[in-house]
């Protein structure tokens, strides 16, 4: 495998490509308790996140986005990772994700680990963290 092919699979891993093609929870719910919109003025990516709370937990989390594959996959994986968490747990998950991406990309649990490669692409980190910033704002 050539060096550049290795680079590519590092960033665009199968899980990332799959989530970008078929993002989970990419919809606008009829009812929601919290919402926020995030922009990346640098590239024009836009994300809107919707959260429904029940029993102190994130019972439903959905998003609408126009953005690149990294942004869409990250939003999709985020909804899976934070569902059923309490707001405090979700905040900790967000912080952990942001820390991982701005350092070595390690210590990401489950499918989120597939986004670890983004940490090697400084210009793309904001694509991946935009949905998470938006969730925190909500």
Partner 1 sequence: MSAVPASTRRSLDVATIRRDFPVLDQTINGRPLAYLDNAASSQRPRQVIEAIGHYYEHDHANVHRGVHTLSHRATDLYEAARETVRDFINAASVREVIFTRGTTEAINLVAYTFGQRLKAGDEILITMMEHHSNIVPWQMLCQRSGAVLRVAPINAAGELLLDDFLQLLTPRTRLVAVAHISNALGTINPVKAIVDAAHKRGIPVLLDGAQAIPHQIVDVRNLNCDFYAFSGHKMCGPTGIGVLYAREAMLRELPPFQGGGDMILTVSFEGTTYNELPYRFEAGTPNIAGAIGLGAAISYLQKLGMQEIAAWEAQLLDYATHALLQIPGLVILGTAQEKASVVSFNVEGIHPHDLGTVLDQQGVAIRAGHHCAMPVMEWFKVPGTARASFAFYNTRAEIDQLVAALKVAQDLFG
CA-to-CA distance for 14 and 82, rounded, in angstroms?
21
Strand order of the β-sheet with 57-66 is 34-40, 45-54, 57-66
Q: Choose the stretch contacting partner 1; rule: CB under 8 A; options: 23-31, 51-59, 62-70, 102-110.
A: 62-70
One residue of 15, 34, 53, 69 binding partner 1 per CB under 8 A:
69
Task: Determine, following the binding rule CB under 8 A, whether residue 67 of this chain makes contact with partner 1.
Answer: yes
Residue at token pair 């550049």: 4
Q: Choose the stretch contacting partner 1; rule: CB under 8 A; options: 2-10, 23-31, 47-55, 87-95.
A: 2-10
Task: Determine, following the binding rule CB under 8 A, whether residue 4 of this chain makes contact with partner 1.
Answer: yes
Q: How far is the CB of 83 from partner 1 (least distance, A)?
A: 26
Q: What is the DSSP string of the chain?
A: --HHHHHHHHHS-HHHHHHHHS-TTBS--SS-SEEEEEEETTTTEEEEEEEEEETTEEEEEEEEEE--HHHHHHHHHHHHHHTT--HHHHHHHHHHHHHHHHTTS----GGGGGGGGGGG-GGGHHHHHHHHHHHHH-
Task: Determine, following the binding rule CB under 8 A, whether residue 110 of this chain makes contact with partner 1.
Answer: no
Q: How far is the CB of 129 from partner 1 (least distance, A)?
A: 14
Task: Determine, following the binding rule CB under 8 A, whether residue 12 of this chain makes contact with partner 1.
Answer: yes
Task: Determine, following the binding rule CB under 8 A, whether residue 95 of this chain makes contact with partner 1.
Answer: no
Task: Determine, following the binding rule CB under 8 A, whether residue 48 of this chain makes contact with partner 1.
Answer: no
* Interacting residue ranges for partner 1, rule: CB under 8 A: 2-4, 7-8, 11-12, 17, 42-46, 66-70, 121, 123-124, 127
């Amino acid at each position: 495998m050539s060096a550049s092919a290795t680079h590519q699979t590092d960033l665009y891993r199968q899980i990332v490509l799959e989530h970008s093609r078929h993002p989970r929870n990419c919809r606008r719910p009829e009812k929601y308790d919290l919402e926020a919109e995030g922009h990346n003025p640098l590239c024009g990516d836009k994300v809107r996140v919707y959260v429904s709370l029940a029993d102190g937990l994130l019972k439903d989390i959905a998003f609408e986005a126009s953005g690149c594959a990294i942004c869409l996959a990250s939003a999709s994986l985020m909804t899976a990772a934070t569902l059923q968490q309490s707001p405090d747990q979700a905040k900790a998950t967000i912080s952990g994700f942001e820390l991982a991406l701005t350092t070595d990309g390690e210590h990401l649990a489950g499918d989120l680990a597939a986004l670890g490669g983004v940490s090697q692409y400084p210009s793309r980190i904001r694509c991946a963290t935009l949905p998470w910033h938006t969730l925190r704002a909500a």
